[in-house]
Amino acid sequence: MISLGTARPWAEYFPWKALEMLCPEPEGLGSTVSMDCVRGEDEYDLDIVMNYGYAGGSPQVLRWVTEHMELLHDPPYSDWECAITCGTTSAMEIAFRLFCNPGDTILMESHTYTGTLSAALAQGLKIQGVAMDELGLVPEDLNHKLENWDSLKGPKPSVLYMIPCGQNPTGSTQSLERRQAIYRVAEAHDLYIFEDDPYYLIQLGEDSSEDSDKGLDADDYLRSLPASYLSLDVSGRVLRMDTTSKVLAPGLRCGWVTASSQVINKFIAYSEVSVASPSGPSQAMIYKLLDQTWGHEGFIRWAMMLSVQYRRRRDILSTACKAHLPSGICSWRVPDVGMFLWINLNLSYPSLAMNNKDSEWEAYRYTEDTIFSKAQENGVVVSKGSWFMTNVTEMRGVSFRLTFAAAQEGIARAVERFGRAIRSYLEDGTL
């Protein structure tokens, strides 16, 4: 077929002859393997990579992703599909447009990812936070809010957004029983679930001793992964979002969504008139690495290696918190998934007294702002808990998010500086 219809640039005029890449072996960062993408030597060659692509992603990458999702999640219905995305932020923006209208209310955990909050507000959506505990979103509060929904606030919410594993910012991970309870509420109230799970493969466990890293094979690791909402979804009410950002590299700006074919078809149709298609070079890097070099088992071994490395960093952070944060004031729960440790400040401690702010939440906000500023003066940046709140006027405490994704050698020093900031504020007597 000779095409005179589509203005696809002639590949001979692309100013690149090849892409050459080096990747590590899955078990670590030492030895490397060479990969390249050149013209005319592969089913996904440079001519294809550098030209306009498919809105749902290249067939080669999509094939690997679909196999991966079946291996890890095996959705319990037949007509599910995947689509490659330009990362979860882009996928979330598209999902909001597909499922929500301006003025609608979407349900989220009371503390959640700031990018999702911004994306929802930018589209004119209202946000209703749902209470959380150490296992994440509380199903009883979710059910209560839906059963007692005030119609004056607008239509009853039909979408629930969650980060079920290593939740950002709290680090909580929902148990299987918790997920089943939440899914039952979703069934009862006909909620559609957005499952945002970027930390799913960063499984930290409880112990970073040498013995805990021995004897674990890929099958053991796969069995340790929690059941996703996608794997529990018997009625096609879950859109799962995965990303390469936490397990490969955020600069790839690639991920994928999985849902019923009806939803995926609409998702792709919207992608065609918005992002057009994911980056060809990024998809080529993913395809060469995951399909042609590592394979599924190699990728799992890579995720296992990342989990071991981040587990060690988590334990360094936890140990530093015990050593440097004031006892009786600070409390936290060591996460077993993800990259975050959530620090709560106990403001009922005898040395703490409310200042003269007009409201309780403003007093907490003032405390948070002051400690944050003192930490910056000491040369360390932490994340304010209020940044992640669905409604800051409901602030009833002071919290900070710390990450152990940073360089290992700087973690303890950073926590010591943060601890000095808290103690300095206590000594000032301004609380």
Task: Map out the domains of the chain as residue ranges.
Answer: 29-304, 314-428
For residues 265 and 260, give the distance between their C-alpha atoms in angstroms, rounded to a whole number. Answer: 9
| Helix (H), strand (E) counts: the chain | 13, 15
What pTM did the predictor assign?
Answer: 0.93
Percentage with pLDDT > 90 across the chain: 73
Q: Is residue 18 classed exposed, middle or buried when 0-12, 13-18 and 19+ CB atoms within 10 A define those classes? A: exposed
Residue 350 has pLDDT above 50, yes or no: no
Higher pLDDT, residue 76 or 31: 76
* Domain formed by 314-428, architecture: Alpha-Beta Complex (3.90)
* pLDDT at residue 310 greater than cutoff 50: yes
Locate 394 and state its tokens: 């409901």
**Phi and psi for 57 in degrees, rounded to 5?**
100, 160
Higher pLDDT, residue 357 or 421: 421
Return the closest-CA partner of residue 88 out of 322, 237, 221, 247. 247
What are the strands, taking DSSP E only, across 208-361? 238-243, 255-260, 330-331, 340-345
| 260 pLDDT above the threshold of 70 | yes
Question: Does residue 339 contact residue 202 with C-beta atoms inside 8 Å?
Answer: yes
Eight-class DSSP state of 110? S
Amino acid 426: pLDDT: 85
Q: In 3D, which of 135, 125, 68 has the Cα closest to residue 96?
A: 125
With pLDDT > 70 as the criterion, what percentage of the chain qualifies? 91
Model confidence band, residue 349 (pLDDT cutoffs 50, 70, 90): very low
| 59-66 average pLDDT score | 97
CA of 62: how far to CAs of 66, 84, 134, 237, 290, in Å?
A: 6, 7, 36, 22, 12
Report, as an integer, the average pLDDT of 221-244. Answer: 97
For the cut 60, the answer to whether the pLDDT of residue 258 exceeds it is: yes
Determine the distance from the C-alpha atom of residue 300 to the mean position of all C-alpha atoms in its chain, rounded to a whole number. 18
43-72: b (≥16 Cβ within 10 Å) or e: ebbbebbbeebbbbbbebbbebbeebbeeb
Where is 18: in which H helix or E strand? strand 18-24
**CATH architecture group of domain 29-304:** 3-Layer(aba) Sandwich (3.40)
Average pLDDT over residues 141-157: 96
Instruction: Give yes or no for residue 351 having a pLDDT over 70.
Output: no
In the predicted structure, residue 18 carries a pLDDT above the cut 90: no
Query: 354: number of CA atoms within 13 Å, CB side?
Result: 11
Question: What's the pLDDT at 184?
Answer: 99
Show Cβ contacts of residue 130 under 8 Å, excluding neighbours closer than 6 positions. Answer: 107, 108, 109, 110, 137, 138, 141, 142, 145
pLDDT at site 431: 44
Give the pLDDT confidence score for residue 1 in this predicted structure. 67
**N-to-C CA span, the chain:** 76
392 pLDDT higher than 80:
yes
Tell me the average pLDDT across 15-30: 78
Q: If you average pLDDT over every residue of the chain, what do you get?
A: 90
